[in-house]
Chains A and B, each alone.
Chain A
Amino acid sequence: MARLKYACDMDKSVLLNNFEARGWIPVSQDDDWNFYWANVQSVRNIFSIDSGYRLTDDQIINHFPNHVELTRKDLMVKNIKRYRKDLDKEGNPLAEKDEFGRYIHLDFIPQTFMLPADYNLFVEEFRKNPNTTWIMKPCGKARGIGIFLVNKLSQLKKWSRDSKTSNFTPPTSKDTYVISKYIDNPLLIGGKKFDLRLYVLVTSFRPLKCYMFRLGFARFCTVKYNASVNELDNMFVHLTNVSIQKQGDEYNAVHGGKWTIQNLRLFLESTRGKDVTDKLFDEINWQTVHSLKAVSNVISNDRHCFECYGYDYIVDDNLKPWLIEVNASPSLTSTTSSDRIMKYKLMNDLINIVIQPGQMPDVRWNRIPSKDSLGNFDVLFDEELAQQDQVLQDSKKAGPGVRGFKDLRGRPSPATWK
């Protein structure tokens, strides 16, 4: 068999070590690669109409052309809102609401508005609850850049004055912001705030095939959490991004403020009980699936693409998870040695799922990896398998749960969308 040729835009050891360990041959981006780990810019170029690039059956690449539908903060919110409305119209039991008009099962992103577009809507909401804190994020930026907290309308007015450099150009994605209700009751452990970074691999959106990586982690703030208004400007208290925390005096390079999901589970099971802990992780899985379902019809489901997303969740003190954002290019830089091992495994297991072991990439493959090649990934949802099982189940009128829901067992049936 010919050796697999890879191209890579990033000089990251966890990537290159994996490729080398497999005996793959490095080629340039312009050569005939089989596997391309590209940055989003290159992907945009490849799929742009002008490039005239045609991918062959043995070429795969690590981003979907319009992944921004999921990974840009404003678009994700827009898509999830639309998804909920659609389900509601269908009369789907999932879109059930409580007496306050809130979705019972689908209320998993903090209330969010687009700025400047939704400014008036936001002001209306703000007036209703003047004592809430809101968090402003620029749509197109990552790693905590440009984020600030707001609890007075005057702060927002000042921002809008300052940022308006020219009134002639329409706002681009760089100038648009989302403003979300700040989760001000986060679950604290050891007095500190944290968020969860989970890795989700999608190999197809229609039918949806997605996998959850077991070795995600919790990122802690170095400074004790303090909800007081005086600390609003202290970003070390509020933001868990490693790139922010790294600048703090208290940053520890040995562990980098990262805790494994296993440790989090152990702590929660011991101190809060097993049932609520299981429920938390089930909910996280469901929210992830819903967020993917929300974009599955708008994403251009190119057969050559797969994508590994970094999902960020915050857990509040009622153990309810909130989806904060989805990253298209989760950092593959290793801050600590266990970080490197984890990310190496991530890449290794990922490759085993997107390419059949020992073979060349083949877009005609049915994308059903064998159980052995899942590694540290669990099947989160496989629409195709779920439908097959559904058919089987219908014919038998009985039988065990859907195969796709391996770790979603015990969920009451009205919560499924079938």
Chain B
Amino acid sequence: MGEPPLTQKYMKELIHDLKASKLYTDLQNAAQVEVAKTHLRLSDVRKGVQTGLVNSGWDRKLRNAIFKYIQCHPKIPYPLPPADHMKEPLLYLRKAQQNWEKRILKSLNSMCTELNMPLARKRPEKEQRDIIHRWTELGTDGPDLTQIRPVYAPKDFLEVIIGLSNPNYHNGDAPGFHHLWGIVQVPLKVKSINKLRLQYSDMAINQGQSGIDDFGDIPPELFESDKMKIGKKVVNACHGPLAQEFSKKGCPTCLRATLWCQMLGVEIDEEDILYYEQLKVNVQQHDLLVDSLLYKDVKLTATNDDQYFVFEDFLYQVLLPFSRDTCVLKHFAQNSATPPKSYIRGKMGQEEYAVVYPPNGVIPFHGFAMYVAPLCYVFNEPVCLYYVFKELYCRYFFRLHSISSHPQGILAISLLFESLLQIHEPELYFHLKTVGCHPLKISFKWLVRAFSGYLSSDQVLLLWDRILAHSSLEILAVLAVAIFSFRKTNLMKVQSYNAAEAVLADLTTLQVIPLIQLSLFSK
């Protein structure tokens, strides 16, 4: 096996990363404190310092940092592929993503010309003061948005996905017998129901679950009190993997904030607060066109949502700084997408004058704000809200709107949805297909938004508990299938796309955990 050198390489990068972090100096300082302790003998300095660090909790912090690194950095395959293969190994998907990016950019640019708005401009002094003054109530008196329209919506993205096909794949003369059912025509490997059952075995019916057993009239001594007792212990242990294991059966509402932070390795220190303040200054100084897009998106989604309207002002406080955050660019190493570039006026095409636009490289689409909205129920403080969202986005949500062959990507999730539904509910699938309503055409928007804005707020959080706990977005497909199964009786009666959509229009009454159990474990 040629593995060792590469593991070494991985280790090297990990250590390099750690050395550059604040934790390194903190650890060094802590070690010095240990060394200075009087009872330490010269003969066993090493051992003494090590146990000292363990006892003072520093070893947990180091472990958490390594855990976070491993979660965010995939193993390096052997032999080391070129950089763009790391982003996306399949050439035709890489091309498709590039074309899609070109289209988005073109649409953005044409909006610029049409409205005669610059991509970015420095704000005059007075306006800068005004922004800071209104920082906690940006929702009132926002910019004029009548001309602004979202760059794209999940529907547009679905069309691109339907159009994808592998040029090297030919399924014989009979036109499409193998993939005759679904609309995703890309042959990717997706998990079977049995594999998913194993993966989500913690959600089995015989296991107590937050989101079922702590609901309504069930007396707390049956489940809730114990869960809370253990939960408090887990939280006190401050250990990422432990929090993850615990959360596989859901997070108790009042521990969710802490558990999520632990799973995501988010720990706010002064440096983070300073950094956020810096981003705020960047917002204050420059007006970007994406700001208007973000504004428009919040106004179109959260402001009109009876669950999230309360948090409108929080959303701006997260989304606007997010668009300035160049740390987000790091995630493009794993993302099939590439941050769009813009050129300083008059220097078109000259690499040295290229800048990433927007600074974080993410162009928002219709519904983007809904990735943040449910978090407002959990984190009451904009800075914390910001870092949790950033981590969630850079780990999971970016995959839901870029074309890639990654098993967590929207392509694989959509395909998983189609294949599970075909196996689970062939009759239903066939019926809907016959009346001209491919199930994915309805469920795609749910998947892209990770169900945010479709389910009631508590249910979204219960669902996201499981995403974080299993580090996987596959649960989205499972839930979408479950919803179709659950509304099967009514769906079997529909004769048109609109009728099917009407049956599935309101999901706010659903209880997601029992539904997922139903579709995973009942057959």
Contacts and interface: CB of A to CB of B under 8 A. Distances in A.
To the question of whether A and B form a pair in one complex, the answer is: yes
B377 A190 contact: no
Interface in A375-412: none
Contacts of A270: 253-254, 256-257, 377-378, 461
B166 interface: no
Contacts of A254: 304-306
B140 A266 contact: no
B242 to A, nearest CB: 21
Nearest to B251: A270
A259 B257 contact: no
A262 interface: yes
Interface in A106-154: none
B474 interface: no
A298 B228 CA distance: 46
Nearest to A194: B310
Interface string A272-304: 011001000000000000000000000000000
Contacts of B256: 270
Contacts of B461: 266, 270
A145 to B, nearest CB: 25
A192 B310 contact: yes
A204 B136 CA distance: 48
Contact of B136 (A191, A220, A252): A191
Interface string B444-467: 000000000000111001000000
Contacts, number: 71
A343 to B, nearest CB: 15
Contacts of A269: 253-254
B306 A255 contact: yes
A220 B306 contact: no
Contacts of B458: 262, 266
Nearest to B315: A190
B484 interface: no
B379 interface: yes
A257 B309 contact: yes
Contacts of A336: 306
B214 to A, nearest CB: 10
Nearest to A277: B254
Given A252-B303, A255-B304, A271-B378, A190 B254 contact: no
B377 A252 contact: no
A223 B305 CA distance: 17
Contact of A266 (B253, B305, B380): B253
Contacts of A191: 136-137, 313
A269 B228 CA distance: 13
A258 B306 CA distance: 7
A190 B140 contact: no
A140 B304 CA distance: 35
B398 interface: no
A257 B303 CA distance: 10
Contact of B377 (A192, A220, A267, A338): A267
B309 A224 contact: no
Given A223-B140, A224-B140, A266-B458, A252 B254 contact: no
Q: Which secondary structure dominates where chain A touches chain B?
A: mixed
A239 to B, nearest CB: 17
Given A190-B376, A267-B377, A273 B311 contact: no
Which of A189, A259, A269, A273 is most buried by chain B, counting CB atoms within 10 A of its CB?
A269
B56 interface: no
Interface string B294-325: 00000000011111011111100000000000
B313 A190 contact: yes
Given A254-B304, A258-B306, A190 B257 contact: no
A175 interface: no
Nearest to A250: B140
Interface in A199-254: 220, 223-224, 250, 252, 254
Categorize the interface residue count of chain B: 20 to 34
Which of A257, A270, A277, A336 is most buried by chain B, counting CB atoms within 10 A of its CB?
A270
A252 B304 contact: yes
Interface in B94-120: none
Given A190-B310, A190-B314, A224-B137, A266 B377 contact: yes
Contacts of B228: 274
Which of A250, A262, A263, A277 is most buried by chain B, counting CB atoms within 10 A of its CB?
A263
Interface in B37-70: none
A209 B306 CA distance: 33
A224 B306 contact: no
A214 to B, nearest CB: 11
A277 B254 CA distance: 10
Contacts of A223: 137, 140
A192 B140 CA distance: 12
Contacts of A263: 307, 377, 457
A252 B377 CA distance: 21
Interface string B487-518: 00000000000000000000000000000000
A283 to B, nearest CB: 18
Interface in A159-191: 189-191
B140 A255 contact: no
A315 to B, nearest CB: 14
Contacts of A192: 310
Nearest to B253: A269
Interface string B247-270: 000001110110000000000000
B426 to A, nearest CB: 35
Interface in B362-382: 376-380
Interface in B228-242: 228
A224 B140 CA distance: 9
Contacts of A277: 254
A309 B377 CA distance: 30
Contacts of B253: 266, 269-270, 274
Nearest to A259: B310
B217 to A, nearest CB: 10
Nearest to B219: A409
A255 B306 CA distance: 5
Contact of B254 (A189, A220, A257, A273): A273
Which of B253, B306, B313, B457 is most buried by chain A, counting CB atoms within 10 A of its CB?
B306
Contact of B306 (A190, A259, A273): A259
B111 to A, nearest CB: 26
A274 B256 CA distance: 11
A257 B309 CA distance: 8
A189 B140 CA distance: 16
Given A254-B304, A259-B306, A274-B253, A190 B457 contact: no
Contacts of A190: 310-314, 376
A224 B256 CA distance: 27
B513 to A, nearest CB: 15
Contacts of A224: 136-137, 140, 313
A189 B311 CA distance: 8
A250 B142 CA distance: 12
A263 to B, nearest CB: 6
Given A190-B310, A270-B253, A271-B380, 19 more contacts: A190-B312, A190-B313, A190-B314, A191-B313, A223-B140, A224-B137, A224-B313, A257-B309, A262-B458, A263-B377, A266-B253, A267-B380, A270-B254, A270-B377, A270-B461, A271-B377, A271-B378, A271-B379, A273-B254
19 contacts: A189-B310, A190-B313, A191-B136, A191-B137, A252-B304, A252-B309, A254-B304, A257-B309, A262-B456, A263-B377, A263-B457, A266-B457, A266-B458, A270-B254, A270-B257, A270-B378, A271-B379, A277-B254, A336-B306
Counting from the closest, the 7 A-B pairs by CB-CB distance are: A255-B306, A271-B380, A224-B137, A190-B310, A269-B253, A274-B254, A254-B304
Interface of B: 136-137, 140, 228, 252-254, 256-257, 303-307, 309-314, 376-380, 456-458, 461
